């Protein structure tokens, strides 16, 4: 418990649409430890994205308590919220969300522009390192429209990890990719996780979910099951990984 990245206590989120009230989250309580790789599954409309938005400090719950690395984020101001997103969280989206007509390098640099403590030179170096890490060293100066979907998502991952976040949140990161490319992407997530980064990933596919060490199922804004992953395997070379946080056998 002492190294929890995320602690949720009875988180609720209500949306009002005119007279109708939607309970998108209906009392979520959970703890995620540093270094975990968690998959979130569940049918459409079960509240996965709502939960991710709250975890990512993009949105505030209607009720409940959220501790991020021990800090109660409800009490933070809007600017502090932005700072938390900038320093502690990396986002990966289904639709990549890269800036058009902007090189991969500059896309990756983006979060560092909002960090006063990092000089332009440093940020360029860090962006290069991040791109190298996702295997796009030779595509640094490509613009998004000259990259494949998988490559674009790798740029987005590089952008998420450039700030060395405590947490990477990925909402259906492989939703727009074919299964082969999805595997490449999952491999990158796996490697990041092995290097110690906590990852929470939303997916509809069992194959993808099974890369994680822990799988949450959601239904109607509640977590209905919370299981260890079925097994952490790499399909591409067939070798099995042991449990825990992925030491190769």
Partner 1 sequence: MKLTNTIKIAFKNLIKNKMRSVLTSLGVIIGVGSVIVMVAVGTGSQQKIKNQIASLGSNLLIISQNRERTGGVFLSGDTNRLTLDDAENIKKYAPSVRWASPFIQNGAQVIADGQNWNTSVYGVSPDFINIRDWEISDGSFFTEADNRVKKKVAVLGKTVADQLFPGQDPIGMTIRVRNVPFRVLGVLAAKGKNSFGMDQDDLVMAPAATVMTRLSGSRFIRSIYVSAWSEKLMSTCETEIKEAMRISHKLKPGQGDDFTIGTQDEIIQMATSTAVTLTLLLGAIAGVSLLVGGIGIMNIMLVSVTERTREIGLRMAVGARGKDILMQFLIEALVLSIVGGLLGIILAVIISLGLNIFTSINAIINVGIIILSFLFSGSVGVFFGFFPARKAARLDPIDALKYE
Ligand X SMILES: Nc1ncnc2c1ncn2[C@@H]1O[C@H](COP(=O)(O)OP(=O)(O)OP(=O)(O)O)[C@@H](O)[C@H]1O
Tell me the three state secondary structure of residue 85: helix
Residue nearer to ligand X on the CB measure, 44 or 121: 44
The strand pairing partners of 215, in sequence order, are 39, 227
Cβ atoms of residues 51 and 28 within 8 Å: yes
Among 48-56, 116-124, 134-142, 147-155, the segment contacting Mg ion (CB under 5 A): 48-56
**By CB under 5 A, is residue 176 in contact with Mg ion?**
no
The strand pairing partners of 37, in sequence order, are 199
**By CB under 6 A, is residue 47 in contact with ligand X?**
yes
For 102-157, give the DSSP string.
S-HHHHHHHHHHT-TTS-HHHHHHHHHHHHHHTT-GGGTT--GGGS-HHHHHHHHH
Distances in Å between the Cα of 104 and the Cα atoms of 119, 171, 241, 242 are 19, 21, 32, 35
Q: How far is the CB of 50 from Mg ion (least distance, A)?
A: 8
The correct pick among 4, 12, 34, 49 for binding ligand X (CB under 6 A) is: 49
Under rule CB under 6 A, how many of the chain's residues touch ligand X? 12
Q: How far is the CB of 47 from Mg ion (least distance, A)?
A: 9
The correct pick among 42, 47, 61, 111 for binding partner 1 (CB under 8 A) is: 111
Interface residues with ligand X (CB under 6 A) are 15, 17, 22, 24, 42, 44-50
Interface residues with Mg ion (CB under 5 A) are 49
């Amino acid at each position: 418990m002492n190294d929890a990245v995320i602690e949720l206590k009875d988180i609720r989120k209500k949306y009002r649409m005119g007279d109708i009230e939607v309970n998108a989250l209906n009392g979520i309580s959970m703890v995620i430890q540093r270094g975990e790789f968690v998959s979130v599954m569940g049918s459409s409309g079960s509240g996965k994205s709502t939960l991710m938005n709250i975890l990512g400090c993009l949105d505030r719950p209607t009720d409940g308590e959220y501790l991020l690395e021990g800090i109660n984020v409800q009490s933070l101001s809007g600017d502090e919220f932005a700072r938390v997103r900038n320093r502690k969280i990396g986002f990966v989206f289904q639709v990549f969300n890269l800036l058009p007509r902007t090189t991969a390098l500059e896309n990756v640099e983006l979060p560092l522009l909002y960090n006063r403590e990092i000089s332009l030179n440093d940020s360029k170096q860090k962006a290069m390192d991040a791109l190298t890490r996702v295997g796009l060293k030779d595509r640094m100066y490509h613009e998004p429209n000259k990259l494949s979907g998988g490559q674009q998502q790798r740029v987005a991952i590089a952008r998420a990890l450039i700030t060395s976040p405590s947490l990477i949140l990925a909402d259906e990161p492989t939703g727009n990719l074919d299964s082969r490319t999805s595997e490449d992407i999952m491999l990158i997530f796996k490697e990041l996780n092995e290097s110690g980064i906590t990852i929470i990933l939303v997916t509809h596919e069992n194959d993808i979910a099974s890369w994680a060490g822990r799988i949450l199922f959601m239904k109607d804004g509640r977590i209905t099951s919370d299981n260890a992953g079925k097994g952490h395997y790499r399909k591409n070379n067939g070798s099995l990984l042991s449990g825990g946080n992925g030491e190769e056998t």
